[in-house]
Chain A
Amino acid sequence: MPPLKIRVTRDIKARHGVLQNEIARRAYLYVARNQALPPQIRHQAQLQLNTFGRYTRPTTVKNRCADSGRGRGILSEFALCRFQFRLRALAGEIPGVKKASW
Chain B
Amino acid sequence: MSSVLPSRLAKLNQLRCSIFQTVYNPTGIRTGAKYLRARLRGPSMVKYYPPVLDFAKVMRQYPDLELVDEDEEQRLQDVEDKKKRGKGAPKKAKTKGEGRRQQRRK
User: Given B31, B41, B55, which contacts A36 in the complex, CB threshold below 8 Å?
Assistant: B31
A34 to B32 Cα, complex, angstroms = 5
Q: Which of B43-71 contact A (CB under 8 A)?
A: 43, 45-46, 48-50, 52-53, 55
User: Given A15, A20, A30, which contacts B32 in the complex, CB threshold below 8 Å?
Assistant: A30
A33 to B36 Cα, complex, angstroms = 11
Encoded as 1 (CB less than 8 Å from any B CB) or 0, chain A from 9 to 45 comes to 0011001101110110010011111111000000000
Could you say which interface size class chain B belongs to?
A: 20 to 34
Tell whether, in the assembled complex, residue B49 and residue A30 are in contact, meaning their CB atoms are under 8 Å apart: no
**A89 on the interface (CB 8 Å rule)?**
no
Q: Which residues of B contact A29 (CB under 8 A)?
A: 32, 35
Residue of B nearest to A61 (CB): B45
Tell whether, in the assembled complex, residue B32 and residue A1 are in contact, meaning their CB atoms are under 8 Å apart: no
Interface contacts (Cβ under 8 Å), in number, total 59
Residue of B nearest to A56 (CB): B42
A79 to B49 Cα, complex, angstroms = 7
Tell whether, in the assembled complex, residue B46 and residue A16 are in contact, meaning their CB atoms are under 8 Å apart: yes
A19 to B46 Cα, complex, angstroms = 7
Tell whether, in the assembled complex, residue B41 and residue A58 are in contact, meaning their CB atoms are under 8 Å apart: yes
User: Given A12, A35, A36, which contacts B49 in the complex, CB threshold below 8 Å?
Assistant: A12
Q: Which residues of B contact A11 (CB under 8 A)?
A: 49
Tell whether, in the assembled complex, residue A33 and residue B30 are in contact, meaning their CB atoms are under 8 Å apart: yes
Assuming the contacts A26-B35, A30-B36, asked whether A15 and B53 have C-beta atoms less than 8 A apart, the reply is no
User: Given B36, B40, B45, which contacts A15 in the complex, CB threshold below 8 Å?
Assistant: B45
Encoded as 1 (CB less than 8 Å from any A CB) or 0, chain B from 10 to 54 comes to 000000000000000000011111011010111101101110110
Q: Can you list 29 contacts pairing A with B, beta carbon distance less than 8 Å?
A: A1-B52, A1-B53, A4-B52, A15-B48, A18-B41, A18-B42, A18-B45, A19-B45, A20-B42, A23-B40, A26-B40, A29-B32, A29-B35, A30-B33, A30-B35, A33-B35, A34-B30, A34-B31, A34-B32, A35-B30, A35-B31, A36-B29, A58-B42, A61-B45, A63-B48, A66-B49, A66-B50, A79-B49, A79-B50
